[in-house]
Amino acid sequence: MASTEVPGAERQLDVDTAWLRDLVDAVGDVLVGQRDLVEHLLIGLLTGGHVLLEGVPGLAKSLAVSTLAEAVDANFARVQFTPDLLPSDLVGTEIYLPQSGTFEVRRGPIFANFVLADEINRAPAKVQSALLEGMQERQVSIGGTTFPLPAPFLVLATQNPVEQEGTYPLPEAQLDRFALKVVLDYPDQEEELAILDRMARTSGPPKARRVATLEQLLEAQPHVDAVHLDTRLKQYVVRLVHATRRPAEFGLDELAPLIQYGASPRATITLVMAARASAFLAGRAFVTPGDIKHVAPAVLRHRVHPTFEAEATGTDSDAIVRRLLERVEVP
């Protein structure tokens, strides 16, 4: 097990992170349960990484995103992705003004801090391509002119894993642009009773308290980058990702026929950044192996693609990642 001693650094952060706890509490005042979802959304915010949320309808995916936007006083836009959506509906378009004989740019909903792409897999390829440019380049093109997107800029997309009719599966290149993929499950009975008490009213859900600002989020990002990561843990991250590509080299011969192809170098970078953010949220100035293992499923599950043989035996990417975390040696 890697040492948690950090030369030249305090064991606890010397920056104020109380506002992050207030932020989690403010979201919890509206949202029942889903603590793991809220934590991963914050990791996405702190690292500037986009988040894909997968779950059946009614699990408060949209509510979680809109509540978080309210709590940090961010510009929020929700786009319902449909088969007839056009790229201009997302990024904007040029409008001709006959009075002046000129064109005026009307910016679309993508010019927001938080963009909720609801049911992203229902939009055709051209719309997904327009969104991809914004996700990757932090800019969009309208009428031959490039416009930068605001900072912070975060795409939070949802997709329904059950109903696949009329959907356009996300290409691997776009999936890889999502830093995290969070899979949501049903609440337990106690949580569902709490949901009834809080939500079963005509007035709708309560409003979130504004407890943080976008400036605090941007100021926190350099502190996340400064969280210490031991060299041995960097090597552990690299071994984990390489094991998704060549499992037999790591003594995981049984996984070789189950993985069609593994994670890209972007996964290695994201895993390190997410682990640092996880430590930061815990108030620590250093990363532990537990931080890496905690964020690894969300970082790797959409980047490890099972073979047909794996699918035939009921082995999905989550099961493969679990076995990798069990078998790849921790320093």
Same domain, yes or no: 91 and 193:
yes
Q: What was the pLDDT predicted at 83?
A: 87
Which tokens hold the place of 115? Answer: 């963009």
Same domain, yes or no: 121 and 238:
no
Same domain, yes or no: 233 and 187:
no
Q: Measure the CA–CA gap between 123 and 155, rounded to whole angstroms.
A: 15
pLDDT band at 226 (very low <50, low <70, confident <90, very high): very high
Does 216 fall in a domain?
no
Q: What was the pLDDT predicted at 162?
A: 65
- Whole-prediction pTM: 0.86
Across the range 32-55, mean pLDDT stands at 87
Q: Which of 209, 242, 270 is the last residue of a domain?
A: 209
Residue 11 in this model has a pLDDT that exceeds 60:
no
Q: What was the pLDDT predicted at 2?
A: 45
Residue 12 in this model has a pLDDT that exceeds 70:
no
pLDDT band at 30 (very low <50, low <70, confident <90, very high): confident
Residues in the chain: 331
Q: For the chain, give the mean pLDDT.
A: 85
Q: Measure the CA–CA gap between 77 and 218, rounded to whole angstroms.
A: 20
Residue 269: give its domain's CATH number: 1.10.8.80
78-132 pLDDT, tens digit per residue, is 999 888 888 889 988 888 788 877 878 889 899 999 999 988 888 888 888 888 8
Across the range 184-209, mean pLDDT stands at 80
Percent of the residues in the chain that have a pLDDT greater than 70, as a whole number: 93
Across the range 206-229, mean pLDDT stands at 88
Does 261 fall in a domain?
yes
Percent of the residues in the chain that have a pLDDT greater than 90, as a whole number: 31
Residue with tokens 């400064």: 226
Q: What was the pLDDT predicted at 14?
A: 66
Q: What was the pLDDT predicted at 325?
A: 93
Residue 7 in this model has a pLDDT that exceeds 70:
no
Residue 169 in this model has a pLDDT that exceeds 80:
no
Same domain, yes or no: 168 and 269:
no
Same domain, yes or no: 192 and 317:
no
Same domain, yes or no: 55 and 203:
yes
Say whether 330 sits in a helix, a strand or coil: coil
- Structural domains of the chain, count: 2
96, burial (CB in 10 Å: exposed 0-12, middle 13-18, buried 19+): exposed
Q: Which of 154, 181, 209 is the last residue of a domain?
A: 209
Does 233 fall in a domain?
yes
Q: What was the pLDDT predicted at 228?
A: 94
Same domain, yes or no: 62 and 204:
yes
Q: Measure the CA–CA gap between 59 and 63, rounded to whole angstroms.
A: 9
Q: What ranges in the chain are assigned the alpha helix state H? A: 18-28, 35-47, 61-71, 87-91, 125-137, 172-175, 189-199, 214-225, 231-245, 265-281, 289-300, 308-312, 317-327
Residue 56: give its domain's CATH number: 3.40.50.300
How far is residue 186 CA from its own chain's centroid?
19
Q: For residue 198, give its domain range.
A: 48-209
Same domain, yes or no: 86 and 195:
yes
Does 30 fall in a domain?
no
Contacts of 288-291 spanning 24+ positions with Cβ under 8 A: 288/2, 288/4, 289/1, 289/2, 289/233, 289/236, 289/330, 289/331
pLDDT band at 280 (very low <50, low <70, confident <90, very high): very high
Q: Measure the CA–CA gap between 285 and 223, rounded to whole angstroms.
A: 9
Q: Which of 176, 209, 242 is the last residue of a domain?
A: 209
Say whether 128 sits in a helix, a strand or coil: helix
Same domain, yes or no: 178 and 266:
no
297-331 pLDDT, tens digit per residue, is 999 999 999 989 888 888 899 999 999 999 998 88
Residue 141 in this model has a pLDDT that exceeds 80:
yes
Does 203 fall in a domain?
yes
